[in-house]
Chain A
Amino acid sequence: MLSLIGYILLCASLLAALVQVVSPTIGLLLDESKYYNKVRVFAYIQFVFMFCSYMALTFAFLSNDFSILYVANNSNTSLPLMYKIAAVWGGHEGSLMLWVLILNVWTMSVCILNKALSFKFLARVLVVLGAVSVGFLAFIVFTSNPFIELTPPPLQGRDLNPLLQDPGMMIHPPMLYMGYVGFCVAFAFSIAGLMAENLNSEWAEKVRPWVLSAWVFLTAGIGLGSWWAYNELGWGGWWFWDPVENASFMPWLVGTALIHSVIVTQKRNIFQNWTALLAIVAFSLSLLGTFLVRSGVLVSVHAFANDPERGIFILCFLSLTVGLSLLIFAIKAHKIKTKGGFDIFSRETLLLINNIFLLVAAFTVLLGTLYPLIIDALNLGKLSVGPPYFNIVLAPLILPLLLFMTIAISTAWKSDKPLLVFNRLKKIALIAVISGIAFPLYFYMPNEMVVFIATILSIWTILGPLDIVIKHITKNTSLLLRAVSVFFAHAGVGILMLGIVYSSYFSLQKELVMQTNEFVNIGPYKVQYKNVDLQKGPNYVSLMGNLDIFKNEVFITRLFPEKRIYKLQSKPMTEAAIHSTLFHDLYISLGEPLQRDRWGVRIYYKPFMSFLWIGILFMFVGGIISISTSVIEKRKIQNTS
């Protein structure tokens, strides 16, 4: 019964989406406003049906309805409540439901929050959003129906993969999808703008908060994914250049370029075509990511069950959507005429350089991810492109970016003089160079030049915007807030870079067998192995280790790494124990038992890990403040007029 209701609601949603696309299109082609004036209504209807269908699926999980195949495959009666909610998006079909639901949320937001848009423009935007919705809904209804029944219904379900039974599973996918899908709005705005042959400053001002919102969610989603991997996977890794990770990183890079390009378009009414193209590319990369994860084309730990048939559907959808948008771009772009130049030394140039470096980086990630596929398709064999490639090739692209970031925010629009900029920045440069050499030298004695360069540039990236905030304290709220948002966002990058460099270069690792009361030194810590006992969890049994941590002979804390055996799985799962401070983490995981009181233990000392999470948090905060500033500015204008 539930499955039937859910399925009908889903189909109703698809119908509403179709109307949302067809009706305004007719209206726009025939220039009959009555077909597109009420387009919001269809969006609302689509949302209601989709929301109810999604809730039906969730209810099926919560009520252990194993007559539905998807529920039986991904849940279990002893699964804790919050993981039942998360299990809805744990598999392919359910995650697509979440995708469409989130698209509907963004569509609703556009309808509700953008009252100032003209009916025509809004209609165009909703046609695009509706078309994407139709594509995904059709995909679900015809190839990935979550409501398929299982007869006879089993008494017990399989279970959610234990790796996913973690709080990270509650927030990482929704946040990530909010980001991925969020770029659809900027995409829709760009298509609408191209069709209207208007991508001017006003258009840029309208689309900017949508770009920032999507970016903020994507940043949080990626950050949470890394943080989750670090805490959950048991060997201290947080980024693997896995194809699915890359699939989220590429839109992020392009999205960052887009944020800066849209600022130029808003401020100076130039780069119009470029901004629109970036928005199209960002969302296209989101769609490409969807394809890569679900088609079996690439090997990935994140991949859902691979099905080449589904792969064909997504590929067709991807070709159609992106192909059509790029054709629209090709045809309409030359109608956009812009005026306005800038000198070779100006903020515009520096932002252009920012875009170039970010896009070449995105291209590199794409190349590295797809290269094994290309080589295989050309019958040249099997090749692996892993972390060493990405780390080597991206470093010379990212480091110069840090250099330019601080110069850009200290350079005027249109035209500036290098000497003047140098004068503004010379104090910061000096502090950055001195501390950037002294700090690593004193604490770590590195023998790689890149550590010094990265440290100097990171400090440079943090101090630059801070200096500007100080200079803006006396100015009006709006300008101050903008400066603060830039500080958080840019400093976040610098802090993140410090985290990456120091944890990569100065980590220590010890892998050994320990017995009761034996201790080992690592970095400033002394780790003493006590024992391993048996504990019981809600749906698992755990072998829990007890290790005492000392620093300078003083007891600091006790850590409890575990090896968990979940009821329905045979392979044990490792849960690491982490003692985290600002400047370093101590990370311990259990290996294999040798005898009753002798266990293999892996101990990692990882400096600056917290900087990674703080850096990402700063970027997130910077984005939020920037959105708030735009909203406040708009309110002010509305109030005074």
Chain B
Amino acid sequence: MKRFYIPFIIFSGLIVFLASGLHNDPSVIPSALIGKKIPEFSLSTLHDKNKEISSEDLTGEPFLLNVWATWCAACKEEHEFLVDIAKRSKIIIYGLNYKDNRTAALQWLQELGNPYKESLYDSAGNVSIDWGVYGAPETFLVDAQGVIRFKHIGLLNEEVYQNMIKKLLINRQE
């Protein structure tokens, strides 16, 4: 007698899962590198072909790594905000120019402003693969020890930025 309730019970469980699923966005993929050290790499800068920057050069201070490109419409929107935070806060922002054209990229920064301490030029996209990049814009938060603490996919805005800073401060206190 009681066993006839089994289908109903199973179904109720299913509904609970489906309901909770409505809140998540299945297409956003969190970074697999959170809590790990930044990948080793060495890339030339955007402004100077002969100058190379390696992963070692970046450790010592916390920074943001912003993945951008001239072919990315959202990056243009985000750029103003980056220029803004570069002015008002002390945080260092490095740019990772992803699969782009050097001349076009330099022109872009000339026209729209340059919030980056340095821009790394990854035309082939290999270093970006090591960072788990799958599109632009993306922004990584790295702490002073060179460990990736946070990755934001999509446009950076005030809310996300404040969140990132909080995370960094919490880490400092620990």
Contact = CB atoms under 8 A, between A and B. Distances in A.
Q: Are A and B direct contacts in the complex by CB distance below 8 Å?
A: yes
Interface of A: 273, 277, 280-281, 284, 291, 295-299, 308, 311-312, 315, 318-319, 322-323, 326-327, 329-331, 333-334, 370, 372-374, 376-377, 381-382
Contacts of B23: 308
Nearest to B24: A376
A322 B11 contact: yes
A281 B7 CA distance: 9
Majority secondary structure of chain B interface residues (helix, strand, loop or mixed): helix
A377 B20 contact: yes
A284 B11 contact: yes
Interface string B11-25: 110110111111111
Interface of B: 1, 4-5, 7-8, 11-12, 14-15, 17-27, 29-30
A318 B22 CA distance: 14
Give the interface centre of B12, B14, B30 by most chain A CB atoms within 10 Å: B14
Contacts of B15: 315, 318-319, 323
B138 to A, nearest CB: 16
B22 A327 contact: no
B17 A382 contact: no
A299 B27 contact: yes
Nearest to A292: B18
Given A330-B5, A333-B4, A370 B17 contact: yes
Contacts of A331: 4
A299 B12 contact: no
Majority secondary structure of chain A interface residues (helix, strand, loop or mixed): helix
Contact of A330 (B7, B20, B30): B7
Contact of B12 (A311, A323, A373): A323
Contacts of A319: 15
Contact of B11 (A308, A323, A334): A323
Nearest to B20: A377
A334 B1 contact: yes
Contact of B26 (A322, A326, A372): A372
A268 B14 CA distance: 34
A327 B26 CA distance: 32
A374 B20 CA distance: 9
B4 A297 contact: no
Give the interface centre of B14, B23, B25, B26 by most chain A CB atoms within 10 Å: B26
A7 B21 CA distance: 33
A291 B21 CA distance: 12
Given A315-B15, A377-B17, A382-B29, A296 B22 contact: yes
A115 to B, nearest CB: 33
Contacts of B20: 377
Contacts of A273: 4
Contacts of A311: 22
A322 B14 CA distance: 12
Give the interface centre of B11, B15, B20, B25 by most chain A CB atoms within 10 Å: B11
Give the interface centre of B4, B5, B25, B27 by most chain A CB atoms within 10 Å: B4
5 nearest A-B residue pairs (beta carbon): A326-B8, A333-B4, A377-B20, A330-B5, A373-B21
30 contacts: A280-B7, A284-B11, A291-B18, A295-B22, A296-B26, A297-B22, A297-B26, A308-B22, A312-B22, A315-B18, A323-B8, A323-B12, A323-B15, A326-B7, A326-B11, A327-B8, A329-B4, A329-B8, A330-B8, A333-B4, A334-B4, A370-B14, A370-B17, A370-B18, A373-B17, A373-B21, A374-B17, A376-B26, A381-B30, A382-B26
